[in-house]
Structure 1
Amino acid sequence: MRKQRSGHVINISSVGGLSGSYGWGVYDSTKFAIEGITEAMALELAPLGIFATVVVPGFFRTNFLDNSSLVRTLNPVNDYAETIGKMRDFASQVNNKQPGDPAKLAQALLKLAASKNPPVHLPLGEDTLMRYKKKVAAFEKDI
């Protein structure tokens, strides 16, 4: 890409990369890292004509929340019943019922790859946009 002075790096993050949530601390932190590295890459690569975009999908109907993907602790700790326990229940209830359509996500990725002037951030899904707005509001309140 440097040699041809063009290209596009597309990293996949998650709605979890926008803000931390109980039960997902390790997962969210890895997605936060993807957000940060992509922002830095976008700045570093821009003078070379190379773009970097982080795609931030929300909940899409995939097998992400079933036992083939999601690992759960074998011995739940009762002290976390109101936080992590509720998240476990939520994950079980929404598995294969997530609002996002994977076919639409695929189309968005193809459109992004073909873009002449792609964004650094591409949030996808209503839940992602809602989480982003909540984070901005909370951050503004903190400030």
Structure 2
Amino acid sequence: MEKVWFITGCSTGFGRALAEHVLSIGHNVVVTARNISDISNLIVGHESKALTLSLDVTKPDQITAAVNKAVERFGRIDVLVNNAGIGYFGAVEESEDESVRKMFEINFFGLGNMTKAVLPVMRKQRSGHIINIASIGGLVAFPALGYYNASKFAVDGLSEALSKEVAHLGIHVTIVAPSGFRTDWAGRSAENSKIVIADYADTAGANKSFIRGYSGNQPGDPNRAAQAIVKAVESKEPPLRLLLGAAALKGAMAKIDVLKKDFDTWSETTVWADHPKEN
């Protein structure tokens, strides 16, 4: 069935690949980016099914205007893809408040505000699907990514709670957790802390260099990711969490093992912490 998709952050990466794929299979798409010139060539040949809008998700007035224009053009919004996001590299102690807050405004608060703006449309329809692009870094933390991890852990938690609030309204929520894909995330879309502390060279510093070094050579294919996301949306039972990439699966399974070990080892102490049961 033909749907109306609303996708943020379409200038590059997942957003661009997804917009291209969804248009190619006949859906209507609201294609957005901060600079509309970056996406104008995306809709060539699909003008009747596409709407391009300038949108900075940190600006609530632009969010409201974009949602209103989408509904005016297509009458509904079936799928919201919260893709806009940036990265930030630095050990926790090295990280600068201004840069961290900027990242949270985009990765978390922008996503939340977009979701709140679209929910009234989906509630009225009694249907919809919200796709939140998180990261394997929203399940597993890595050195040099502490605050980035925090922003994506926050997306994961918000999304899980939201899924329990809206399921009875016919609205699905899926958290997409990719590992390394050939997008700009590890390139121009991520900022380095200007503070460098030598004591973190072997942990945060080493991981930062590794991630930067393989930018453009990651195993993940954004075009296949786009197809996987569409498959999840079209499923009769969409997943709450969709891992993308072999490294994401490996990392998530290892995290489960670590959690289980701690929970099992400390289970006696965990239960002991409750008030004693009265006889």
Q: Tell me the TM-score normalized by structure 2.
A: 0.49
CA shift, 1:36, in A, is 0.8
Partner of 2:216: 96
Q: Distance in 2 between matches of 1:46 and 1:102?
A: 28
Q: Deviations over 1:29-59 (max 9, x none)?
A: 1100111111111111011111111111111
SS of the residue 1:2 aligns to: helix
Partner of 1:7: 128
AA aligned opposite 2:247: D
Q: Deviations over 1:86-137 (max 9, x none)?
A: 0122012211110101110111122222223211111111011011011000
Larger Rg: 2
Matched, 1:55 2:182: no
Partner of 2:70: none
Q: Mind listing any 5+ residue stretches in structure 1 that lack a counterpart?
A: none
Q: Distance in 1 between matches of 2:148 and 2:171?
A: 28
Matching of residues 12-51 of structure 1 within 5 Å: 12-51=133-172
SS of the residue 1:140 aligns to: helix
Matched, 1:81 2:201: yes
Pick from 238, 243, 265: which aligns with 1:123? 243
Greater RCO, CA 8 A, separation 6+: 1
Pick from 226, 230, 242: which aligns with 1:110? 230
Q: Distance in 2 between matches of 1:35 and 1:134?
A: 18
Identity %: 43
Report how many aligned residue pairs link the two structures. 142
RMSD after superposition: 1.1
Q: Tell me the TM-score normalized by structure 1.
A: 0.94
Partner of 2:21: none
Q: Mind listing any 5+ residue stretches in structure 2 that lack a counterpart?
A: 1-121, 264-279
AA aligned opposite 1:83: T
